[in-house]
Structure 1
């Protein structure tokens, strides 16, 4: 019998008036799971992550359901109870640590306040726990009195990871946590995040553009385009044999090529949220699109078996998935290197 998911998302949509920026997403996150949300800028990844935490922007209308399993086996809607769940069961690692941290309070005090808001510990005990949390992410306890601007970018990002994990939440959402960091720091921060997630026993939803980080740190991936589902499943299945042309294009663009050969690129740009085509959103850029793709929007369909110990299948939203070749670089031939 399959495990019950920790987080259950059904037909999630986020709209601004008549414009749907996120369209009908359905997925599960299991205990200890690492699910990556990937796609081009504007795909709706960060908006999806915020909706999971009840943090959709003002003016947005959220549809569908996002439910977190309770200890008694029932579940509860996240949006309606976000104030009670924050810091206790769910936590956020934001993209911009400098904006997320208060500039007028020492980092240690901010962590201690997060501890006290959940545990009710004394100030002394909360400060001790905050110092330990910082040490666990590689920041000396002596830097507890430092203000955010006195820390490097990598240290600030580790500090917000410490804040997110200090109360051992069940679910962490990391929204592009390494965007402003150089490659070496990126891997350090992702390693720290993985360590702290494992120590807390938490599940992680990771929003990222870094497909190499997905390979290294995620168990499952959900590829998004124009606010909707493109492809999902275990990382080794989706990246090893992508069945959606869009996923294949993303991966082909990262494949090293010999000097003088053409670089694979996905031509064109994603559609504006308010100007989606009537059929598949990717059809205007897809080299395999036919008349059906231009007129009929595809629904997710299973194209692979189970993986990761859960009832997780490889799914793709594409009419032409069976026409995607094993080596798809040729579909997206671009400019000379």
Structure 2
């Protein structure tokens, strides 16, 4: 493959390359699990149906692909980062299994969520197993497990904050940003740092890739929150206005609530109303209070900040081009 072709690869091709490298190792890891847990894991990952019949491939594999590219960017081989990429993907799916239960989301990837098919307790326990399997996978490859455990602790802290916000009327925007950095930024930070480490990067390079991942992860959460309100259910696989129906204090919502506008006061009243409310009215108030435009502006800023951290360690221009393509995917996606 020529350098010119590699530079110009579109996002689907880059992610397809990442899946091709990572999925066999991921399937091998999941295949080592006991039968019941393996069935739920593969269903959640999108590999088979509730009876174990093959249905196709899994998710986008964004985080594993970032780990592989980080290894190449510092002069290593993508193959050296496969265990790290598998570990990060397992952590991601552990968090999603628990997330769906906590949020009461009934669909995932356009079909019933694992907890709806197999039960709440089996889904939670399967998530726990994937967490342990991630640690075992990275440790077996001699990877820095402390980086992963720190990322998991930050992720869980972010999740706890997210849940606590649902019962609070006084969430500050700075608190909401800190929550998102933990909830989503931490795992993307892990993916990039572990990949750079596996590729033999210097401490400065590993730190730069960690910061790149954190900025990109926060941008990803902004986009997730926008899609959680205005996304097309046919694309997202989730009900329309799902975050509003759950009274989520997401980034655009908190930006709106703290804007000091008339729309903010109306949104406060709506969120405090017992029982059901019209989510379309809430979405209109978030937009009128500036929450949507603020998140869109931050998306672009975070994308630029993320890429600026990489330029400071001068990665391969060819790889920087592909990392830029994935950064652009984060801020311009439908699901």
Same fold (TM over 0.5): no
Which of the pair is proportionally richer in strand?
1
Larger radius of gyration: 1
More helix by share: 2
